[in-house]
Amino acid sequence: MNIERIVKRQYSSNSSNETETVTEAVNVVTPLQKLEDSLTRVQEAKRKCLDSLHRMETDDRRLELDLIRLEMEAAKEDSTNTEDLKDDSFIKALNATTEGVWNDYTEDE
């Protein structure tokens, strides 16, 4: 038991002076139980927050991996899909020039 407060009262009457002392005590276990309950609630809230944070980090990693996988698939499709490539005028010009150079070539033996 823990003493919470002590009250002392004096009564005066014609015949005598009386003193009354009132002591209020609180069970020590009760405040400790309240603190323990509060701590348990705080720890549970902390655990839930950490679980949520872990879930968000896992989701972010999963999204990053999916994005990388999609980029790799897109790169594969681009490399196998040569029909969609645009003709480069520079390549055409080089081809025309080499034809002219090869046509002018004569073998001198």
The answer to whether residue 89 scores a pLDDT higher than 90 is no
For residues 82-101, average pLDDT = 65
- The mean pLDDT value of the chain amounts to 80
Q: Which residue has the higher pLDDT, 14 or 75?
A: 75
Residue 16 pLDDT > 70:
yes
Q: What is the pLDDT of residues 20-70, one digit of tens each?
A: 888 887 777 888 889 999 999 999 999 999 999 999 999 999 999 999 999
Q: Compare 86 and 8 and report the one with higher pLDDT.
A: 8
Residue 86 pLDDT: 61
Of all residues in the chain, the percent with pLDDT exceeding 70 is 75
Nearest of 37, 31, 39 to residue 4 by alpha carbon: 31
What are the DSSP calls for the chain, one per residue?
Answer: -EEEEEEEEEEE-SS-EEEEEEEEEE-THHHHHHHHHHHHHHHHHHHHHHHHHHHHHHHHHHHHHHHHHHHHHHHHHHHH-GGGSPPPHHHHHHHHHHHHHHHH-----
Contact at 8 Å (CB) between 31 and 1? Answer: no
